[in-house]
Amino acid sequence: MKNMTLDTFTAAAASKRPVPGGGGVSALAGSLAASLAEMVTQLTTGKKRYAEYEEEIQQLMREAEELRIELLSCIEKDAEAFAPLAAAYGMDRNAEGYRERLEACLRAAAEPPFLILKLCTRVVEIDERLSAIGSKLAVSDAGTSVMLAHGAMYGAYLNVKVNTRLMQDKMYAEEKEEEAEDLLEEYAERALNCFEAVEERLDG
């Protein structure tokens, strides 16, 4: 799925097909966020003005690249996790083992969006640093990146919750939701603060 053209992917997302849905689109948004962060590092490395940060910029570049690739792979992970869940929804609810199978599928389906959320928090952290030490000529891209990550985190969170709400094991569901909510609350605020820092630097 990640090898689809943009035209094919967006058409699929716009259709009645179950995938790509919110999880896959959030993964793509997160990957694009990481791409822009990586671009900022590419435009900063080797510049005399930022020479004191060269080692750090190189490290951030490697991390952004890894995040870009991993988030892109989450499109497929999300689709693969949804397939058995869709099959479980189609089962006879009175069939033997139905509840156990559905529960296992719900847990599996909640994992890719939770991973997307966690990966996007790291994109936010990279953007926070780039808002301060990245090339001023490219810092607007760090701002764009962090807001893409901001949206991706919200989308991923909702795709965790849409699965946990149906789980029979309420203790597990609540723990998963709380962990996701805590991450979202912290990093959504940090993303907005980072965006403001980018604006301030552009105005300075």
CA dist 21 and 195 (Å) reads: 27
Report pLDDT digits (tens) over 143-201: 999 999 999 999 999 999 999 999 999 999 999 999 999 999 999 999 999 999 999 99
| Residue 25 pLDDT | 97
Q: With respect to residue 172, please indicate whether it lies within any of the assigned structural domains.
A: yes
Per-residue pLDDT band for 3 (boundaries 50, 70, 90) equals confident
Separation CA 131–CA 146 (nearest Å): 10
Residue 14 lies in a domain: no
Query: pTM for the whole thing?
Result: 0.94
The percent of residues in the chain predicted with pLDDT above 70, rounded, is 100
16 within some domain:
no
- Answer whether residue 44 is part of any domain: yes
Cα angle 104, 186, 140 (rounded to 5 degrees) comes to 115
Residue with the larger pLDDT of the pair 25 and 83: 25
Mean local confidence (pLDDT), 78-84? 91
Q: Is residue 48 part of a domain?
A: yes
Question: Rounded mean pLDDT of the chain?
Answer: 94
Residue 11 lies in a domain: no
Enclosing domain of residue 68: 21-203
CATH number at residue 100: 1.20.120.680
Split at pLDDT 50, 70, 90, the class of 88 is confident
Residue 96 counted as domain residue:
yes
Name the helix (H) or strand (E) containing 18. Answer: none
Task: List pLDDT tens digits, range 19-53.
Answer: 899 999 999 999 999 999 999 999 999 999 999 99
Mean pLDDT along residues 119-142: 97
Overall domain count for the chain: 1
Distances in Å between the alpha carbon of 30 and those of 107, 184, 187? 22, 14, 14
Asked if the bond preceding 20 is cis, omega within 30° of 0, the reply is yes
Q: Residue 4 domain-assigned? A: no
Q: Please tell me the least confidently modeled range out of 25-39, 71-85, 112-126.
A: 71-85
